[in-house]
Amino acid sequence: MLLTDKVAVITGAASPRGLGFATAKLFADQGATVVIIDLDITRSQNAAASLGERHLGLAADVADELQVNAAIEQILGKYGRVDVLVNNAGITQPLRLMDIKRENYDAVLDVSLRGTLLMSQAVIPTMRRQKSGSIVCISSVSAQRGGGIFGGPHYSAAKAGVLGLSRAMARELGPDNVRVNAITPGLIQTDITAGKLTDEMRQNILSGIPLNRLGDAQDIARAALFLGCDLSSYCTGITLDVNGGMLIH
């Protein structure tokens, strides 16, 4: 059991087929007490309950500082610590460059980038006091290759910002024994992609993936587990590519 006695907070984890819930389930299986934070309280509570009695579901908009701080205060009041934070919450919009409006830009960057900052700021004081902690930030291969299949340029910008923020936090928090790392998933089969890939699109994508398959949520969950637990105790500031070889650099 790699996360025995650890408290893990995972944002955007209420969707049954999402990366966040797969991570929550794997963390719970590895002994962690899991807190799921998502926008809808009923979905969050149902997702947490499906993991077992000791887990917690909360509602918060990760882009709202007051809601984020209130959620973390509730977690600390109940469990007294936070050992792992997975900044998974994010949204995407399939817009081309000249179609991006201010409201589109603000919406995508608020959740992925501002949300990562606010959630991290909320747990850092506790992790510093503990002299231990792991923050895992979910970015995207689109941040590295300059565009994705379903996300617009503003999505790539937000996820590139997550990479820069993760590295800067890793540098600053290292002396406190708080590690910060990022994962860059490739094309993963979730509700976001369900029904949107034609056979022709799928074949074109697979032709550029050496492992010749699309990823699934478990692939990302396992990477998050590695970065969240002590197996990666000497890793901070890294970007862990999980894309089947779609981007080799």
Q: Is 79 a catalytic residue?
A: no
* Pairing mode of beta strands 178-185, 215-216: unpaired
H or E segment and range at residue 171: helix 153-173
The CA–CA distances, whole Å, from 167 to 57, 95, 172, 237 equal 29, 28, 9, 5
The span from the CA of 142 to the CA of 136, in Å, is 18
Catalytic-role residue among 79, 105, 155, 234: 155
Structure tokens at 198: 């034609």
Of 245, 243, 150, 240, residue with least CA distance to 191: 150
Residue type, 157: A
Q: Which residues are catalytic?
A: 155
